[in-house]
Structure 1
Amino acid sequence: MYIYYFYSRRFVSEFKVKMRPLNESDFVDAYDVPRDESLARVEIALLGAIFVTATILNTALLLLLWRQRKQMSRMRVFVFHLCLADLVVAFFQVCPQLMWDITDRFVGPDLVCRLVKYLQVLGMFSSTYMIVVMTVDRYQAICNPMVKFQRARSRLNVPVCVAWGVSLVGSLPQVFIFSQVEVAPGVFDCWADFIQPWGLQTYITWTTLVIFILPVSTVVVCQVRICRAIQTNLSRKTHRQGVSVGAPLPARASGAAGMSKARVKTLKMTVVIVLVYVMCWAPFFTVQLWSAWDANAPKETAIFTILMLLASLNSCANPCIYLLFCGEFPKRLVKLLRPPALSAAIIRRANQGWMAVNEMWTESPSDVGLKGDFT
């Protein structure tokens, strides 16, 4: 199967068996259980494609942001660290799973086993909570703009530090749950040791709660309040225009509902990032809970496995979303990645395509003076 508590698919169907035997008769008879080689090849192909794509996109965007580090806006800081989190997912979550699928057994000592399991969940935590603090920052910018402005300098990196701190601490249980276990005479694997019969269910439920349900709930609350604030602001703006036609609008009212074009685009980007995150990870956590609580769950089916693998697509989608909403960065990315033999005509077509897609998210023609990048 997939990562975290059932990194090897054999572990899923046998987690109820005692994990630390006292004699040979107590060993988990997993070594002789054949795996579906066709499904394994599909897993390897998908994971390989996800790893390469996520690594290239996030590394390229990270380099572009780093080159402009002297002009880092708040939003760029969040995107920069989101790229770092997605690279953690690529190198320490997708890559180990890819190698594990190739070898069918974890190859490495106990220390490496615990470290890999820790870094796997660290990637999940960091990517998730970076999205949370990004959304909370947008909430502060729109609903409490004066408070945010007054504390902008001192709080610039505090949300990022909080996200990484929660991730580092929240991943610690992995170190104590997983270890190198002898699953058959002379055969070792990186497996978990749960208290039976409720340990596994508690672990999966808790992981789903802190990595998916609570973060998504926080994001939804922030987005709902943002929508209400925009609606209220729009109503007041319409009322003022009706009472005093021709009265000058506030300086901030360069876009819809009194928000600048840059802020509107930032809000849209945040919403899309959240929606894509939910679409990628909701099936994953659903099948995780299903496999933990239902002993008869179809854990070995292709659909069950693919749904878990596709969750890592979120790390490929995040840089694409940022490029979609940013005007100049797609051009710079093409210049950074293009081979020397690529013609100028192809470059122009690629740039035109990005510009056409970007125009779909542009506000009214009155919103001028602000370029593609935003704060």
Structure 2
Amino acid sequence: MSGNWSILRLSPLAPPTSSVALLPNTSQFPPLSDWEAPSFTRAAQFRVAATLVLFLFAACSNLALLVSVWCGRGRQLASHLRPLMLSLVAADLMMTFVVMPLDAVWNITVQWYGGDVLCRLLCFLKLFAMHASAFILVVISLDRQHAILHPLDALSAHCRNRRMLLVAWSLSLLLASPQLFIFRAVRVEAVDFTQCATHGSFGHRWQETVYNMFHFTTLYIIPLLVMSCCYSRILLHIHQQHLRDKAGESYLRRSGTDIIPKARMKTLKMTVVIVLSFVVCWTPYYLLGIWYWFQPDMVHVTPEYIHHALFVFGNLNTCCDPVIYGFYMPSFRADLAACCHRTTSNASPLSPEQFSGRQGHHSGKLHPATNNQARN
């Protein structure tokens, strides 16, 4: 391929891949000459296989987490924490059922067969899911900051979190809406090739770069700054409390022995790890995107499998959240254990004698207590 290339992906943030159609001079509508249709390369095949594996794991784990928080032992979470976890799971499920299968199918088909309306809608849904995932992590960070710095203000946490979640989802909807207008199904008559692209939506390349940088800022830079500020203030507060403790000053501590109650500290650790997984998984992907926006020729310098691997690594973040939640919250592990036990029992029916014996064995036992959930 030659000429002034622009990557045509689901969102304006994806790095270039040779398995997806590239069109010259995306800023205008010139005749598409000297152009070669892409192919389903081996690197793209690896991307599809890895994406499908992540899809299966993310779908099962996030659906299990949704059931646990919605109607399982996860209902024991504090009332202001449940909406946060449900929103995070909803955003992860959108990433799982919109972004992953669409990316895999599009890499297999190479060109676009969904028509103009589906092109606009799915490009919108992908960016909407990405914004929602980032903004909900911001809401969780703000909630943890308020819980640690103002522990006596717990009564207003429920209403405050609902308002912040409403703002997060509304902003995600608003910021993703331009995708409905800049993406369209573009057909190359000379080679009978159709692609979902931004071809012709920008008058100059710098305009497209500004659009990409704007979404990079709202998707990554601003959330990262807010989350860093929140957890920096939390660490500073904990450090100051330690200094007061050493100086022998008296201050209010709910646990009597700890600076922060154990349940609240467990939730804090969980949210810190969730945020770190977001940063670790998506940072290489966004850095590659920035490199491409300002130096488009890098597509010819870096190996194709790197572009694919970094996108797959970013999708790994969707699988991390339920694993992290399960590590810190025994309610989720208990629900999974109960589900596995029921599945095993149904798969291997017992005889009447065995059934009677098992009933007698368990009749005096209760389910493991799971009341040690984070309440703050």
What SS does the aligned partner of 1:152 have? Answer: helix
What's the TM-score, normalizing by structure 2?
0.82
2:180 corresponds in structure 1 to 175
Question: Could you state the TM-score of these two structures normalised by the residue count of structure 1?
Answer: 0.82
For residues 13 and 300 of structure 1, what CA distance do their matches in structure 2 show? 17
- Of 224, 230, 234, the match for 1:222: 230
Distance in 2 (alpha carbons) for counterparts of 1:202 and 1:66: 41
2:313 aligned with 1:313: no
Give the RMSD, CA atoms, in angstroms. Answer: 2.7
Structure 2 SS opposite 1:155: helix
Matched, 1:115 2:118: no
> Do the aligned partners of residues 12 and 306 (structure 1) sit closer, same or farther apart at CA in structure 2, a change above 3 Å counting?
same
Q: Give the C-alpha shift of residue 188 in structure 1.
A: 1.7
Matched, 1:61 2:65: yes
Mapping of residues 98-177 of structure 1, within 5 Å? 98-146=104-152, 148-177=153-182
Structure with the larger RCO, 1 or 2 (CA within 8 Å, 6+ apart): 2
Shift, 1:13, TM fit = 8.3
Among 89, 94, 101, the alignment partner of 1:83 is 89
Report 1:1-375 matches (<5 A): 3-5=10-12, 9-10=17-18, 14=22, 16-18=24-26, 21=29, 26-27=31-32, 30=35, 32-35=36-39, 37-68=41-72, 71-73=76-78, 74-146=80-152, 148-185=153-190, 186-192=192-198, 193-240=201-248, 250-254=252-256, 256=258, 258-298=259-299, 301-337=304-340, 339-340=343-344, 371-375=372-376
Q: Which letter does structure 1 place at the counterpart of 2:43?
A: L
Deviation of the 1:173 alpha carbon: 1.4
Instruction: Give % identity.
Output: 28
Between Structure 1 and Structure 2, how many residues are aligned?
338
Change (3 A) 1:139 1:373: closer
Equivalents in 2 of 1:276, 1:270: separation in Å? 10
Which deviates more, 53-62 or 190-199?
190-199
Tell me whether 103-112 or 150-159 shows the greater mean CA deviation: 150-159
Q: Which amino acid aligns with 2:264?
A: R
Question: How far has the Cα of 1:91 moved from its partner?
Answer: 1.1
Q: Can you give the 5+ residue segments of structure 1 that lack an aligned partner in the other structure?
A: 344-368
Q: Distance in 2 between matches of 1:109 and 1:136?
A: 41
Change in Cα spacing, 1:312 to 1:321, as seen in structure 2 (3 Å) is same
In 1, Cα distance between equivalents of 2:375 and 2:280: 26
* In 2: Cα distance, 1:88 partner to 1:166 partner: 16
Indicate the SS of the match to 1:27. coil
Tell me the distance in 2 between the aligned counterparts of 1:88 and 1:11. 24
Unaligned runs of 5+ in 2: 1-6, 349-369
Match of 1:360 in 2: none
Distance 1:34 1:14 in 2: 8
